[in-house]
Amino acid sequence: MKIIYAIVSSDDGTRVTDVLTENHFSVTRLATTGGFLKKGNATLMIGTEAEKVDQAIQLIKDTCGKRQRITCNVPTPNIASISAGYMMTPVTVELGGATIFVTDVERFEKI
Ligand code: 2BA
């Protein structure tokens, strides 16, 4: 048996927990904080058989892998904005990503 620790962004935490659960993985989700940015993230603990580790990692990758999104939510002040308020400029931002550890489980019991 193995345990997977997957650190994902808080935004992806609910979605990836749902996807893993729908695919019959047992998941414990912890609200965690990154040591560097001091920003909230989510750590998933997934105990599973060794032969299912790759499937779990693929589901995590499909759901939370690094991706780019164009957003118009960044207000950019410019000359026009003085009279017309803030203009919304499309920008590309990178979202997601996961840090994954897989370790052996020495003993597993449910009592
Ligand atoms: P990532 O490397 O993608 O890491 C995202 C989060 O995953 C980290 O949040 C941390 O919670 C966890 N994590 C990553 N590697 C880990 C490890 N070896 N052991 C335990 N947990 C780990 P943050 O610590 O807030 O880091 C956010 C981002 O800042 C990192 O993204 C990385 O790009 C950068 N970063 C982290 N530590 C850094 C450092 N010492 N110097 C420069 N940049 C750093």
* CA–CA separation, 30 and 14 (whole Å): 11
Select from 98, 93, 31, 95 the least CA-distant residue to 59.
98
Distance 99 CA to ligand 1 centre (A): 8
Ligand 1, CB cutoff 6 Å, lining residues: 7, 34-37, 39, 41, 97, 99
Summarize the confidence of residues 61-88 as an average pLDDT: 72
What's the pTM value of the predicted model, to 2 decimals?
Answer: 0.84
pLDDT at 90: 83
pLDDT at 84: 59
Q: Is the confidence at residue 17, as pLDDT, over 70?
A: yes
Residue of the nearest CA to atom 43 in ligand 1? 36
User: Six-digit token pair at 110?
Assistant: 């449910």
pLDDT at 66: 86
pLDDT at 100: 98
